[in-house]
Amino acid sequence: MNIAAETIPTLEQINQTKSAIDAHIQSLNQNPDRRDGALPYYLFHEPGRPIRGTVMIFHGFSAKPHQMWRLADYLFQNGFNVYQPSIAGHALINPAKNWCQVDLKPEYAEPLKAKVQQDPVLQTFIRNFANNPAATKPGFMQRMSLMARLVMIEPQLLDIVKSMEMSDDPDFDRYFISSHLRYLTEAQARLTELDAMPGNLYTVGLSVGGAVALGLAASRPDRIRGVVAYAPLLKIYGEERRRYVNLAGPLDISESGWDPNLRFPIGCLTAADRFGSSVVLSDESVRSLFNIPSFLVLTENEDAADIDTTVDFYQRIGGEGEGHRFFLYPKEDLVPHPMVDPTEVSQNMSNRFWQSLYQETFRFLSSGRVNTSNLGNIEQDLNLPIVPSV
């Protein structure tokens, strides 16, 4: 990574940037669907102080910007300005209305939904699932059974789903209405709010936010100098899970994620998968990212983002030879998919190596290098800024 010298933002540059971001935050505050605790925020150093650059941090699917507040605070305390936007629609409630989604066109959706509504087996399952507060998502056998039932009542679904399993299938637009591109267009809008801020700009993201960080960088190689993506969701993990998301996504079935009080249609996950597979993995994005150093962090204990897809993506953008870096936590490290905050628990696991992860994120953003041996250490590298304990 070609690291430029530190820059010193002026009072005018900082005020212009704050004004642009504040206008966006105010528009969200005025929205009747605003989601408590999900507004964007920023951490900017005082004018006249040198900074290493500005980092845009994108949280994960169904989460909020403060999911990454510890990392943001660490980077800020060590010389970076930080801006944490909400990923598309996530500052608002009512996901069926406000979040990115893939929907069947009415001429296909209405007959299918009518069949679902007339099927007593499916209606019983959907009702039981919706009324069970402990049910965040169907288990493996439930998904298999649901898929079998859906195909039984509407065999055409198999042909419809095939059109979304390939990122460039022309039949996708025949069957579907999709807002998955909002992940990119809304991130681009947030980027324009930093137009007045001088110096290097970097993107960091987790899961779907990792895909957004990569997609935004690919669209603006003139502005973004590096990317860190933790378990980027470029394709949903597991062929069975992905088939279920694509098959059931256009229906009125919902799940819950990090906010147990907020259920979202499965079509929102379909849109996340579509964004990763059709935007980030596109040949155009790969060519653009070839020259933007990226640091990809994965875990073998993955239940959301497909590992093999990300490994292949890393090779496609040039791998280590082109200045990119890669690390995979082994199973025995018990690091789960949402690997950034030490208090976040998934699959009964949390990341005990989070402090070293923060240090290596800092090292990469400030130098383009990564010490992978440090990532597997609970003890921190004393040659890097120390990460405070919880």
Q: How far apart are the C-alpha atoms of 306 and 297, rounded to whole Å? A: 12
Of 91, 94, 69, give the one whose Cα is nearest residue 82.
69
Of 279, 143, 137, give the one whose Cα is nearest residue 208.
279
Q: How far apart are the C-alpha atoms of 84 and 65, rounded to whole Å? A: 6
Q: Sign of the CA dihedral 366, 367, 368, 373?
A: negative
Pair 361, 213: CB distance under 8 Å: no
- Both tokens of 52, joined, read 């290493």
Beta-carbon neighbour count of residue 293 at 10 Å? 24
- Fold classification of 11-94+192-235+282-375 is Rossmann fold (3.40.50)
Of 164, 58, 148, give the one whose Cα is nearest residue 108.
164
Q: Which residues pair with 230 in a beta bridge?
A: 206, 297
Ordered DSSP codes for 233-256: -SSBSSHHHHHHHHHHTTSS-EEE
| pLDDT of 250 | 60
From the first residue on, what is the mean pLDDT of each consecutive set of 10 residues in the chain (390 residues)? 76 98 98 96 96 97 96 98 98 95 88 89 84 76 86 87 80 91 98 97 98 98 97 92 78 76 89 95 96 97 95 97 96 96 94 98 96 95 96
Half-sphere exposure of 285 (CA within 13 A, CB side): 22
Q: How far apart are the C-alpha atoms of 54 and 199, rounded to whole Å? A: 7
| pLDDT of 4 | 56
Domain ranges of the chain: 11-94+192-235+282-375
**Which helix (H) or strand (E) element contains residue 363?**
helix 354-367
Residue at 201: amino acid letter: L
- Both tokens of 81, joined, read 């300005």
| pLDDT of 116 | 86
